[in-house]
Structure formats: structure tokens, C-alpha cells
């Protein structure tokens, strides 16, 4: 699997109720490559990421992550694969309130059954992103710190692929630029490919490779 691309999509099709269909003929993302997929709001960006992550099932086509056909796996096996090989960064962070920064980083692989991240490694990732209070509950952190925890959670397992869904949509331009730089650098440090979807035109110049959906 190490020689396989981080992501390969072929003839993907997903039909929404009411007749609208998302289609993607072919897309390949190499190991460690970073790509922006730009599209207007409502064009299916979040749906595409959910399909890649195996959170939804397509109506046709193939999605492979690190050489594994995602939708050939089912139930707990798919969850374990996602926990080991796919990191996700959400616009609203989706952190577990009542849990510490460290517990949030450890929770994703633990809940998926993937394992593979110990507390020492998780603390190291948090520290590299400027979080020096891993024992603080996330609701007591600033918005910027919460985003750093979300990025740490996504890359802690050194996944083959990180999916970022409008990660800067709620930020002002200066903070958005800083946050995107942090995400890109974290993916480079972990060796993870990055697929970022956004309708923000300011993102365009940050990526050597960009496509329109």
C-alpha cells in the first residue's frame, strides 16, 4: 500500500433525492501532495469528502485511499481503516466538549478501534502546534487553540490522507491565512496528503495544485 497514491477516484457518482447528481470522473492525489478543490456553496464539496471518508456510500464508481477500496469495507473494519488512514478537519472543529485537548486527540483512533497513538506522541503533536496545556478542557481554549487541537487530532496518526472541509470559513482573512498555513505545515510534517475543499478565493494561491468541482 505504500506505493499506492493517497487517493484515487474513478467514475464516482452519487445521486441526491430529487434528481441532482454529483459526478467525478477521475482524481488521483499522490502521497504527500496538497490540493485545493474549489467550488461554490452547495456544489457537493462536503458530500464528496463524506464519500471519500466512507461516511456515505456512492451509487457508482471507486474510491481508494492508500490502495484500499474504502467501500469494500463495512462496519467496524471501515471505521478502523478510517481511524488509521484518514484525518478530518471540520469547519466547526467537532471537538468533544468536557474532554481535554489531549483526550480529543486520542479519542478518534480509540473510538474507531484503530489505536496507534500514545499519549506521549499526541502531546508532541499538540506542542508542535502551540498547545502547551494538553490537560485543558477544549471549551476553555480560544477558538484558535481549538482549531489547533482539531488539526492535531487529524494528523496524530500520520494518516495517508487529510480531508479539510472549509477549514477557514469562520475566520477573518489574517487568521484564515495563518490557520491554513498551519494545516499545510502539519500535513507536510506528518507526510499526509491534503485535500482541502473551499469556496474561498483567497485559498487559490496557497496551493500548487487546484481543481474546480
Q: What is the mean pLDDT of the chain?
A: 91
pLDDT of residue 113: 65
Question: Does some domain include residue 22?
Answer: no
pLDDT single digits (tens) 24-57: 999 999 999 999 999 888 888 999 999 999 999 9
Residue 140 has pLDDT above 70, yes or no: yes
The conformational region for residue 136 under phi > 0 = left, psi -120 to 50 = alpha, else beta, is: beta
Rounded to an integer, the average pLDDT of 121-134 is 93
173 or 195, higher pLDDT: 195
213 or 57, higher pLDDT: 57
Question: Does some domain include residue 200?
Answer: yes
Distance CA 193, CA 191 (A): 7
Question: Does some domain include residue 179?
Answer: yes
Question: Does some domain include residue 25?
Answer: no
Question: Does some domain include residue 13?
Answer: no
Question: In terms of residue numbers, what domain contains 158?
Answer: 31-56+73-212
Count of domains forming the chain: 1
Question: Does some domain include residue 160?
Answer: yes
- Grid cell listed for 170: 469562520
Please state at what angle helix 101-112 crosses helix 119-128, rounded to 10 degrees: 130
pLDDT of residue 1: 53
Environment class of residue 90 by beta-carbon count within 10 Å: exposed (0-12), middle (13-18) or buried (19+)?
middle
Question: Does some domain include residue 23?
Answer: no
pLDDT single digits (tens) 149-190: 999 999 998 999 999 999 887 778 888 888 899 999 999 999
Q: Is residue 174 a contact partner of residue 15, using CB atoms and an 8 Å limit?
A: no
Question: Does some domain include residue 16?
Answer: no
Rounded to an integer, the average pLDDT of 107-114 is 69
Question: For residue 202, what is the domain's CATH number?
Answer: 3.40.50.300
Percent of the chain with pLDDT over 90: 69
pLDDT of residue 107: 86
Rounded to an integer, the average pLDDT of 10-30 is 93
pLDDT single digits (tens) 75-84: 999 999 999 9
Residue 192 has pLDDT above 70, yes or no: yes
pLDDT of residue 213: 83
DSSP per-residue codes, 7-60: EEEEEEEEEPTTS-EEEEEEEEE-TT-EEEEE--TTSSHHHHHHHHTTSS--SE
Amino acid at each position: 500500500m505504500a506505493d499506492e497514491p493517497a487517493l484515487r477516484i474513478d467514475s464516482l457518482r452519487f445521486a441526491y433525492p430529487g434528481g441532482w447528481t454529483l459526478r467525478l470522473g477521475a482524481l488521483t492525489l499522490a502521497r504527500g501532495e496538497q490540493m485545493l478543490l474549489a467550488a461554490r456553496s452547495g456544489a457537493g464539496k462536503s458530500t464528496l469528502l463524506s464519500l471519500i471518508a466512507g461516511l456515505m456510500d456512492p451509487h457508482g464508481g471507486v474510491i481508494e485511499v492508500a490502495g484500499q477500496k474504502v467501500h469494500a469495507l463495512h462496519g467496524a473494519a471501515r471505521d478502523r481503516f478510517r481511524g488509521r488512514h484518514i484525518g478530518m478537519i471540520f469547519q466547526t472543529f467537532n471537538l468533544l466538549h468536557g474532554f481535554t485537548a489531549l483526550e480529543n486527540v486520542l479519542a478518534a483512533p480509540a473510538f474507531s478501534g484503530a489505536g496507534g497513538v500514545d499519549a506521549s506522541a499526541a502531546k508532541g503533536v499538540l506542542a508542535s502546534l502551540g498547545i502547551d496545556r494538553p490537560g485543558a478542557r477544549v471549551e476553555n481554549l480560544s477558538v484558535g487553540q481549538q482549531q489547533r487541537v482539531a488539526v492535531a487530532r487529524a494528523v496524530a496518526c500520520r494518516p495517508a490522507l487529510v480531508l479539510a472541509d472549509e477549514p477557514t470559513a469562520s475566520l477573518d482573512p489574517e487568521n484564515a491565512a495563518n490557520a491554513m498555513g498551519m494545516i499545510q505545515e502539519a500535513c507536510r510534517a506528518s507526510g499526509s496528503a491534503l485535500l482541502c475543499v473551499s469556496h474561498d478565493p483567497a485559498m487559490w494561491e496557497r496551493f500548487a495544485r487546484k481543481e474546480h468541482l
